[in-house]
Amino acid sequence: MDYNDVFMLSLAFFGSLIGTYFVIPKIVGVAQYNKLMDNPNARSSHKNLVPRLGGVSFYMSFIFGMYLLRSYNSGDITIAMIAGMSVLFIIGLKDDLTILTPKTKLVAQFISCVVIMINPDFQVQTLNNFLGIGDVSVYITFPLAIFFMLYLINSFNLIDGIDGLAATIAIIAFVSFGVLFFFVERYFYVGICLIGLGSLISFLIYNLSKKSNKIFMGDTGSMILGYIIAVLSMRILSYKMERLSYLPLDTKNLVLLVIAILFVPLFDTGRIFLVRLFKGKSPFKADRNHIHHLLIDYYNLSHRRTSFYIGGFNFAFIILFYFLSTKFNYWVMSGVMLLTIICLLVYFQVIDAKRTKKMELEK
């Protein structure tokens, strides 16, 4: 890394930080003037009218940031990322302003994922001996990658239920992936992570505000964040052993480390779908059974504390799995991952039962 690299990456971070900070008040003003506000309902955790167009600032930051960083990467990849993100921006913005069916959003998400995955640079052709698996056919990994990306995009959309949570988890993901891409010397993706980091830091200033300039990221923001993080995930997993040898860990454990980075959205979405199916409900029917809802309702926590605790857990989980990835094999890590999932499923099931009983007694 030379001085030019440091300058460009610094420009990406501070440009998105300052740009988002000054753009959001303008977005809030336009939303308030045109009455483009989020009306609270029975599931809402807020009582006042709040604009939900924060994702517009994310889109602007990534577009300008990718333009600045274009010399670090293939033009085809940059165009593909912008195209995929633009599809989600248009659909997300329409959903924030009106209401779209889940099917329409899913089709748009699918198109965005295919746009990026048809690029050979993102296609996973080897698992680098994870679980003893070496080379794999693209015909197998391609549909699995599309499913993973769709799952992650919707996971970020689902955890965006309280102030600060989706942004906090995304910040942790951008920092984690930024470190990984720094070690493999892929500065375009380091820059993407810094753009996301800068935008989200400024966004949180307004999202956590109790004043009239408060804003939500909306479906536009959560889908863009989920998409960019999904793209970063597929890119790091697509590297072969030669490039991954720069990482200070056993490359066979990279898959599990990526899962650890994304653990909260992946776990919460999987758990909520299982709970809804177990109760005989549609897995897509909204309710207050997400882990953040359970913690708020049972422990009477504020949004900030809940986001801080969940984000703190995710960060600690990443540190744990990084340590494990340097000392142990994937069987040990898989065992720890499985044990963690089982313990958390039991814990939140107990909390859910106690919350239900508590609510019945209060009636």
pLDDT-based confidence at 358, cuts 50/70/90? confident
Q: Is the pLDDT of residue 360 over 80?
A: no
pLDDT digits (tens, 9 = 90+) for 297-334: 989 999 999 999 999 999 999 999 999 999 999 999 99
Instruction: Note the pLDDT of residue 48.
Output: 72
Query: What pLDDT is recorded for position 47?
Result: 61
Q: How confident is the model at residue 45 (pLDDT cuts 50, 70, 90)?
A: low
The three-state (H, E, C) secondary structure of the chain, written as one string: CCHHHHHHHHHHHHHHHHHHHHHHHHHHHHHHHCCCEECCCCCCCCCCCEECCCHHHHHHHHHHHHHHCHHHCCHHHHHHHHHHHHHHHHHHHHHHHCCCCHHHHHHHHHHHHHHHHCCHHHCCCEEEEECCEEECCHHHHHHHHHHHHHHHHHHHHHHCCCCCHHHHHHHHHHHHHHHHHHHCCCHHHHHHHHHHHHHHHHHHHHHCCCCCCCCCCHHHHHHHHHHHHHHHHHHHHHCCHHHHCCCCCCHHHHHHHHHHHCHHHHHHHHHHHHHHHHCCCCCCCCCCCCHHHHHHHHHCCCHHHHHHHHHHHHHHHHHHHHHHHHHCCHHHHHHHHHHHHHHHHHHHHHHHHHHHHHHHHHC
* Range picked from 116-130, 238-252, 317-331 for highest mean pLDDT: 317-331
| Single pTM value for the model | 0.94
Q: What is the pLDDT of residues 212-223, one digit of tens each?
A: 889 999 999 999
Any idea where the domains of the chain sit in the sequence?
Answer: 3-269
**Is the pLDDT higher at 273 or at 360?**
273
Of the listed ranges 41-50, 222-231, 251-260, the least confidently predicted one is: 41-50
Kindly report, residue by residue over 343-355, the tens digit of the pLDDT: 999 999 999 998 8
